[in-house]
Structures are given as C-alpha cells and as structure tokens.
Amino acid sequence: MNKVIHWGRWCAAAFFAFQGLFFLFAIEAIVVFSAVQLHERMLYPAVMAPILSFPLLACAWGIAKLRRWGYGLAIVLAVAEGLAGIIAVWLLRANISSVYVGGFSIYFDPAFMSSLLFAYIVLLWLLLPSVRTRFLHKGFAA
C-alpha cells in the first residue's frame, strides 16, 4: 500500500473521529452547563449531539477500514464542511468587526481556519487517483 494512502487514511480518520467526539462531548458539556445556569433541561442539543456526531464517527470507521461507503461519506462530509466554512465567512464578512469567537475574529480564529484547511486537505487526498482506486477496488467493498 502506498504511504500516501496509508498515512492519509489514518489522518483523515483521525480528523473525522476528532470532530465526531468534539460534537458529542462539547454539546453535552453545553447542555450540562446551560442546565446548571438556567435551571432547566435543554433537550434539543442533547438530541442533536448524537445525530451530528454519528456520521462523523461512522465516516472515521469507514475510512480506517477502507470501506466504499466510508469513502463516499467522507467526500460528502468534507464538501459540506468546506461549503459551510465558506458560507460562514461570506455571511459574516460585513459584521466582522463585531463577530468574535474566543477572542479572535472569525477570519483569524485558529480553530476555525485550521478545521477548514484540514477539510480541504482531506478532500484533496480523497480525490487523488490512487486513493480513489484503492477505495473503489472491488476487493475492498464491504
């Protein structure tokens, strides 16, 4: 197996797994914190956390195991994240002086920009001919 395919698949799987775990645990932490602050239970984030994290975690598993469905799901998720990032920057460009995330402007937020950059790197890796051939090879279909 080519090193680009081998190491790239683990990096892509780690990227999607990290995002899935982040959605799962960060949203649950927000629910607990909000329940303590507001003295009420917030049901919407508690229900949405598993729904948002499941495709990301399933994608990480599919990429790590070289499954066809993992390849397709990874392309869909990487394109969706890339488009969502571009739309977020485009919508917030007029209000950039008033929009800050964690003390940084949205344009210069390191977490936002690194996540967007890595989503495009993963998408570029997925579209490489050798990667596409390896995932779509009949011997690796689940």
- The pLDDT of residue 42: 59
Q: What domain count does the chain have?
A: 1
Q: Which 3 state secondary structure label does DSSP give 101?
A: strand
- CA distances to 67, 97, 121, 138, 142 from 117, rounded to whole Å, are 24, 23, 6, 31, 30
Rounded to two decimals, what is the model's pTM?
0.75
Task: Find the domain containing 100 and state its range.
Answer: 3-140
pLDDT digits (tens, 9 = 90+) for 34-68: 655 555 555 666 677 778 889 999 999 999 998 99
**DSSP 8-state assignment for residue 139:** G
Other Cβ atoms within 10 Å of 71 Cβ, number: 22
Sign of the dihedral defined by the CA atoms of residues 32, 36, 41, 44, in that order? negative
State what percent of residues in the chain have pLDDT above 90. 29
pLDDT digits (tens, 9 = 90+) for 13-41: 999 999 898 888 876 666 666 655 555 55
